[in-house]
Amino acid sequence: MSEKRERTIFLSDCQSFYASVEKATHPGLENLPVVVAGDPARRSGIILAACPIAKSSGVSTAQRLGEALQLCPNAIVMRPHMQRYIDVSLAITDIYKEYTDLVEVFSIDEQFLDVSGSLKHFNCSPEKLAIMIQKKVAASMNIRIRVGIGPTKILAKQATDNFAKKNANGIFTLGKDDVERELWPLTVDKMYGVGSRMTRHFVALGMTTIGHVARTPLATLKQKFRARFGKQSDIQAEVMWRTANGLDDSPVTPGTFDVMPKSIGHGMTLPRDYATAEEVDIVLLELTEEVCRDARAKGFTSGTVHVFCMCSPYDAPTGFSQQRKMPLCTNNTLKVYRSVREIFHRNWNGLPVRKVGVTLGSLADEEVTQLDLFEDVTKVRELDRVVDGIKDRFGSTALIRASSLMKAGLAVDRAGKIGGHYR
């Protein structure tokens, strides 16, 4: 049996993507410090992206706008244009498809490329192919990309995050033989999938570097995780161990987001703390309207609904995350809202609310619907379709519930946004 051929995987990342798109759209900003903020009118808004010039002054992603402006007073603050970023991302993905048909979208500014079969066609090394793609994206979109190269997706990702982003040419190769020398000395927070909370757990276990995790026998790591997180943590321990060792058999899969979703959800951070149930009810109804409209557009009904709520204060939040099974599968807003409202009122602790979310689960094909003996499902569905059709044609605020016009309502403001940000 022939030995399995080692793959060549790229993880391409667009540098300071939102800020780079704004600069590409407005050439006069090329040599200026540009930041993109969630709400430029509020100094408490969050930095979504900062160009390298702004970063050189100490500005960082997720920093509060007021803090960023103290560090870089001459920063040009742009509001986000999400539809523009989506369009540019799709165009860049199309460029990648000129070099390989195995392109997997990982995020709006990151894509995996399996170029194993492309190297012979282009008669070049992985590094030279990466340079070719960099030049094509720069010439076509005026966007700089960084490329991590590895035999697995996880090594390509870690090559990008930890090395390519810091290299002058934006390219770095992390092979299996390089893991111990290059990856293992890094602090454990540099490992993919390890956030601040998991970092604290690893440090408490005496594992401060990626190498500490990698060199720990898997059985021992599972034992330590069980003692700390419970017996259900075996899978998490193995994922961390494999990540530290660069082990990953998963293929680059085009159309990852084309499969049937497991859930449909929307959430939001409220513009202020909502102190009364009446205020929160208005937003929950609006969120329910959004998720049900999405479900109807995709031809799904839902059997379960999940409600998330986070209460103030910000530095010591409380709240709940609960779901319940609905009597019948449905995508009707008012039917789902009954369950949403019941979950909220049963679990809310009475403290001011900062974040809320509604998610539909147990999705099923709308055409395979359990009948309701006491209601004509067809009439309800037809009415929903008429309302959705009007909104699709004239905008989501063409028809709006009266409650959304009250002070707590956010539907009108959110109508002009994608993912909570301006189009």
Model confidence pLDDT, tens digit, residues 154-163: 999 999 999 9
CB atoms within 10 A of CB 135: 11
**306 pLDDT exceeds 90?**
yes
* Whether residue 188 is found in the same domain as residue 286: no
pLDDT at 64 over 80: yes
Whole-number pLDDT of residue 6: 87
**Which structural domain, as residue segments, surrounds residue 204?**
184-245
Is 275 found in the same domain as 203?
A: no
Structural domain contains residue 411: yes
pLDDT of residue 20 exceeding 90, the answer is yes
Q: Is the pLDDT of residue 366 over 70?
A: yes
Tell me the mean pLDDT in the region 80-92: 93
Q: Is the peptide bond before 73 cis (omega within 30 degrees of 0)?
A: no
Same domain, 227 and 360: no
Q: Residue 296 domain-assigned? A: yes
Q: Is the pLDDT of residue 257 over 90?
A: no
**CA nearest to 176, candidates 212, 153, 151, 210:** 151
CATH classification of the domain holding 67? 3.40.1170.60
At residue 376, the pLDDT reads 60
Same domain, yes or no: 402 and 287: yes
Mean pLDDT of the chain: 91
What is the rounded CA–CA span in Å between residue 331 and residue 296?
6
Same domain, 265 and 305: yes
Least confident of 19-28, 43-52, 95-104, 226-235: 43-52
Residues 278 and 224 placed together within one structural domain of the fold: no
Weakest-pLDDT range from 35-39, 56-60, 136-140, 337-341: 35-39
Residue 240 belongs to a domain: yes
Whether 360 and 310 share a structural domain: yes
262 band by pLDDT with thresholds 50, 70 and 90: confident
For residue 174, tell me if it sits in a domain. Answer: no
pLDDT at 315: 65
pLDDT of residue 328: 87
Q: Establish if 91 belongs to a structural domain.
A: no
* Average pLDDT over every residue of 277-293: 95
Give the pLDDT score at 161: 97
Instruction: Detail the DSSP E strand segments found in 181-274.
Output: 264-274
Instruction: Say how many domains are in the chain.
Output: 3
The reply to whether 207 and 78 lie within a common domain is no
Nearest to 364 by CA among 388, 330, 326, 340: 330
- 286 lies in some domain: yes
Q: Are residues 326 and 414 in the same domain?
A: yes
Question: pLDDT: is 44 or 24 the higher one?
Answer: 24
Structural domain ending residue among the three candidates 222, 245, 268: 245
Instruction: Point out the residues that are catalytic.
Output: 110
Query: Which CATH number do you get for residue 312?
Result: 3.30.1490.100
CATH number, domain of 237, equals: 1.10.150.20
Last residue of a domain, one of 30, 64, 82: 82
Q: Are residues 279 and 401 in the same domain?
A: yes
pLDDT surpasses 50 at 2:
no
List the single range of 10-14, 354-358, 373-377 with lowest mean pLDDT: 373-377
Give a yes or no: residue 122 inside a domain: no
Among 82, 110, 134, residue at a domain's last position = 82
Q: Which residue has the tokens 């990540």?
A: 243
pLDDT of residue 261: 76
Q: What is the DSSP string of 333-371?
A: HHHHHHHHHHHHHHH--SSPEEEEEEEEEEEEETTS-PP
Mean pLDDT of 106-110: 95
Same domain, 326 and 403: yes
pLDDT of 371 above 60: no
Residues 297 and 377 in one domain: yes
pTM for the whole structure: 0.72
Radius of gyration of the chain (CA): 24
Q: How confident is the model at residue 75 (pLDDT cuts 50, 70, 90)?
A: very high
Rounded Cα gap, residues 110 and 211, in angstroms = 26
**Is 235 within a domain?**
yes
Helices (H), 264-360: 277-298, 333-347
* Amino acid 1: pLDDT: 40
The pLDDT of residue 370 is above 60: no
Q: Report the pLDDT averaged over residues 216-240.
A: 94
Q: How many helices (H) and strands (E) does the chain have?
A: 15, 14
